[in-house]
Amino acid sequence: MRIVIAGGHGQIALRLATLLAARGDEVVGLVRNPAHVDDVGAAGASAVVLDLEDAGVDALAETLSGADAVVFAAGAGPGSGVARKDTVDRAAAQLLADAAARAGVRRYLLVSAIGIDSEPDAERGEQWAAYVRAKKAAEDAVRATDLDWTFLRPGRLTDDTGTGLVRLGPPDIGYAEITRDDTAAVLVALLDTPATAGLVLDAVGGDTPVTDAVASAAR
């Protein structure tokens, strides 16, 4: 497969690229900072420098041409400010969907966040509220397309070594941690399972092997 990852220098994206490249897939990572090109290459992907906050849909569609799937793993990141929660976490996700449709790429995986159906906790501050609302708006925008989308909502992400074991299911399975390693592994399994299109899935650490959890969700 040829997979294009938006937010190609992100921690989940680099892990995903490594897994896909290791099995022979062609991976393209979109980055806005030229300094990140070498890191993407070290993960086994080809880097394309393209700022999703400035790019037009035609330029992005050209980059997506020939892809079998796109993965939105971008995010404004901590301390980026309220405005960039919208321009990256929402608008860039919508731009990727529009460009995918124009390029004829049907499969779209969106890395979202657990618990975003609830009103954000005001005690966590304005930036957190903006992040939650941007992620929910991104899902709403992609859901309104006719793409074969899947939304993966991981719990609190950690850098612990992956276990290969998860709990995966419809929203409200319970808030818990999940490693970035295991999140990337779930994304690979979702790419391999077209029947997960149209699903919104929470993901946390658990006791079910990743491929079994995804297969069960697809049934």
Average pLDDT over residues 119-140: 86
Distance, in Å, from the CA atom of 98 to the CA atom of 184, rounded to the nearest integer, reads: 24
Token pair 């919104």 is at which residue? 200
C-alpha separations of 62 from 6, 50, 57 in Å? 14, 11, 9
In this predicted model, what pLDDT tens digit does every residue of 189-211 receive, in sequence order?
A: 999 999 999 999 999 999 999 99
Helices (H), the chain: 11-22, 37-42, 57-64, 82-84, 93-103, 126-143, 180-191, 210-218
Distance, in Å, from the CA atom of 216 to the CA atom of 192, rounded to the nearest integer, reads: 13
In this predicted model, what pLDDT tens digit does every residue of 36-62 receive, in sequence order?
A: 999 999 999 999 999 999 999 999 999
Residue 30 and residue 6 in contact, taking contact as beta carbons nearer than 8 Å: yes
Instruction: Please tell me the predicted confidence (pLDDT) of residue 208.
Output: 98
User: Which domains, from first to last, does the chain contain?
Assistant: 2-218 (3.40.50.720)
In this predicted model, what pLDDT tens digit does every residue of 70-80 receive, in sequence order?
A: 999 998 777 67
